[in-house]
Structure 1
Amino acid sequence: MLREGFDADSINVRIQELADLIRYEVYHDPNLWTNSEDFETELEAIVDFVEKRAAYVNTQLNKYARKTDLQLNDLMTVNHGTIADEMGDHDPWVEIYNLGPGLVNTGGLFLTDDSGVPNKWELPVQNLDDGEFILLWLDGEHGQGAYHAPFSLNSGGGDLYLYLNDGSGYVLVDSISYPELDAGVSFGRFPDGKGLWHVLSEVVTPASSNQFNNIPKNLFINEFMANNDESVAGPYNDYPDWIELYNGGTEAVDLGGMYLTDDVEKPTKWPFPSGTVIQAGGYLVVWADGIPDRGLLHTSFRLSASGEAVGLFAADGETEIDSIVFEAQLDDVSYGRLPDGTSNWTHLTPTPGSQNMADGSINVPTGPVDKIPEGLVINEFMASNRITIAGPDGTNPDWIEIYNGGNESVNLGDMYLTDNLGNPTKWRFPDGTIIEAGGFLLIWADDASNSSGLHCSFALNANGEEIGLFASDGTTLIDSIVYTKQLRDVSYGRVPDGADNWEHLLSPTPGWGNTKKPPYEAESSLPMILILVGAVGLVTILFVAITKYSEKRG
């Protein structure tokens, strides 16, 4: 908590950000019970409280600090210009990190490359606070100073040990067997002090926090089978569950250290073995048989045929790369993306390790729809989004907002969105897509269904067309709207939410409740003037906007 912003400077920045949102209202509220000047005084009091509290907590945590909190964190064997020592030399180095919770003195700690000689080099004595680093030069040039070891790291790979002399002997605190490294490449933990070791080539960070940016953008859980009775035989001639990954990128991906799980709340259930590589455009099958002793690609869990989840997580054990929540599965029928890597999931004739085929798609009848969710409507959309809201990729795509006016959450998985009522099943919501009671859901209509998340397979036509929301049977219409030509950066929505009345909204509210008037009228005068004035000169527009703004504030 102390590392992540519980200090006076960080809190003051955040307080001022929040205060700026309400300061005008505080100073102009005629019903305020206190003096508006007290507002700033109270803000200062909060900062003062945090400063004193942080100092007290730091003092208490220091009582629990131990020398064993120090961990080997990063090293470089071939330093070609990355960082120079005080002599100007680019020598090998190692970084040690204080995992916390408090201040540690490095006295009595030793580094060695030989476990038989634990006291080969005693670390220079200094205090290292929680979350701090110490950089040491393992260059074999001890005469250059206290931070230079009498031995050097081996460019071909080797071992490094950190020992503590506790008075009765030498106790191993940490160790690492490091590989041969290219020039300018380090080998470090991510996250700092407790994560797995990785080759860090993109960003090298001596004496500062490690960065591991190897999170592939086009790596997918592409197909799986959770009820494999006699369809796909495994390497032991039985029929285990299996999961297929697909690399839709242009480069090979090293999966070593990443994780697969059947419970997204426990992302580190099974780690990929070191050196597991999936080629560009390639597939990898993992046997979910719950028997990891069978070999490298056998997970520690099995899939549930009655429904659960599959998650793929990055090596930090926190960042989700891809996941799928699925319902009960059919015997010997797989469930996969079609085409590969897109957001469209369907039942398939199994193709483990190869491309999912359209002619292998299996139409699983859902039966008649027993009940259409009450209050589920298309609530707002924008068919000409130029500057209003940016999508996840930084562009400005069309968008559609769904509103759940009912009293219960609704699972949209297997329902459909379309821009052609004659083709109801144009885009299917991913499994596990939930919209809470009274909630809103935003879908990007960018014709990019191969992107992860809620990106449908069509874009909206600003000259007019139709939008339809269909039930899971692909025929029952839940809601629709037929619209005419749309204005640029103006949405069209129900006012109030869920009502039959549709109006153009000068202040769009994607993901929020619709309103004819924006919550801050003064700040919305500029887009209103831009729409009404059109091509008038910029100076005139700004003059009118400022005048309107002043009138509203006055």
Structure 2
Amino acid sequence: MNTRMALYFLILLSFLYGQVDYATEIQPIFTNSCTSCHQYGNTSGGLNLTSYSGVMASSNSGTSVVPGDHANSLLWQRVNDGSMPGSNQPDLTADEINLIAQWIDEGALEVPAVEVDTPDVVINEFLAGSENCCGSDIFDGNNEDFVELYNYGTDLININGWGFSDTDGLITTVCTTNTIIAPGDFLVLWYTGDNNGFPEINEKLSKDGETIYIADADGNPIISYDFGPQTDDISYGRNPDGSDTWEYFSVPTPGESNVIENLPPGPFSLIYPENNDTLVIDLNNLNDSTVFSWEESVDPDGDSIQYIFQLYGGWGGMLGLEFDIIYNQTLDNTELSISNNFFSSTIINFYSEVNDGYFLQDLSSIPVWWSVFSSDGTDTYGEDASDDLGYNDNGFVVTVDLSGIDTTGTEDPEIVINEFLAANEICCISPDGNTEDFVELYNFGTDTININGWGFSDTNGQVATTAPDTNIAPEGFIVLWFTGDTTGFPEIDSKLSPDGETIYIADSDGNPIISYDFGPQTDDISYGRFPDGSESWTYFSSPTPGAPNIESLQLQNELIPKSFTVFPAYPNPFNPVTTLSYDIPNKGFVDVTVYDMMGRAIKNLVRSDQSYGYNSIKWNATNNQNQIVPAGVYIYKIEFGKLVVTRKMILLK
């Protein structure tokens, strides 16, 4: 076995059987082989090998022993190369040389280090700024700093003889009795600065930061924890108990778990509308709002509360009445105002899609359920399955009367979107000098139209900007610049998306006039009507905001719609006229037919070849005999080649 292998073997044995002991293993080697030359009064080379202190002292040649590094220790180098021992003394054996190397690599200790078995205890929480908390019930109204210990192990821990202080390595208070910390249990040390005896510690913790020091009965350090500046009455501790995750606690818990069980928000009741109320929405209050309100839910933990408002529609399923959420919103306050216009549209849109419009046969009695539950971010109050609506005071049913929404005899103004651009890179220039998206309106009628109070946006049902007193003459144009700025009309505080969205316009009473959905657009290519105000749409390579549209023949093969698309009827619900529109990707035969809910054909609107692009047709609520049809839900079917799309629409009376 060579020297290196023997050394590795001895080091391995040291891990298995313990460290090298200087007094019993190293000093005898020096005494038997080296001290004849290296002793007091006769130190060859200035090296004395008769004692530990002499071995560790430097020789004339330099440092004899470098703890932890035998290769750079002169003593090992000399015995390894045979220059020591000198005179007629025999060389050290390989085992002796390797033992010296092992002793040096282990730190060249005089006494082998003793491994202390540290008990399974940690500082779990401490408070170093006790102004209004804690311990006043123990210390005659005085508040004191504390350190909480926690036994995270499985065995009992007796801390008899342990010492404590606020300075590393020093002991000011000792536990002199058998004091047991059970597994999973806590012990509180009160740093009062008084010499009253354990568990009071004769130190005060500094909120500017210092040390929590704990040693066992033999004086071995167990914990030396340095902390920084602290805040009055805010403790710092582990969560969960005994973990490595620390956090601050506004409510210190000396002697108790830091894991505070969350309590759910407190109970509350719905206020208005009350259960079984009837809400009437008609033309007189369509622009008003309905305010839903409820009591405050108080959280016992002081957590912030949010309320989740939900509006439900009901429909007949296989298991009876079932519910769908048709609107929801999260709020910080205890009331929600919903515009009657939006409220009625939401209800009609939902009920037109379920049970073949059954609930809309009588517009004076449409059921709607509303509920609210509170949440503290962890737990909730009042959140139940929709099947439990109305059974736990978390949901009320109200009847909505929409029979007064009768638009018979009203006419939409003779105005249309004539051209728009939703991807403006280098065209066109708005009044503020920037390239901006635009929407051009055109008056195709014979009367001047005043748009004072009209609202505009890029979202159906919402208004971002309102127009002042502004007229559009017959065959006149007005350009709306969708800049996204709040500069004021004709700039609109919305930006059109080149990926497609909605152009929404409402009159001064909030009634929708135009809600036009468009698909993806191309940079600097506008889309509009040609001729102006007609039903024929095309793309323009030279947009003309505020001027007549000019047909761009070169775009005919470039911007043909890529697919057959049917747009929602507009308006819907309607009375007495709605428009059905669609895109077709190439010239072909188109069939547009209206059916009742029994599947009977009511009106054939189109049966002819049509050119590619955008097409539309109006239906005036008459049948093939030109007779007025009754109110209700109708289906329109648009066929293009082998492609068929059906949609629903609602006729009001």
Same fold (TM over 0.5): no
Q: TM-score, normalised by structure 2?
A: 0.28
Q: TM-score, normalised by structure 1?
A: 0.32
Kindly name which structure, 1 or 2, has the bigger radius of gyration based on alpha carbons: 2
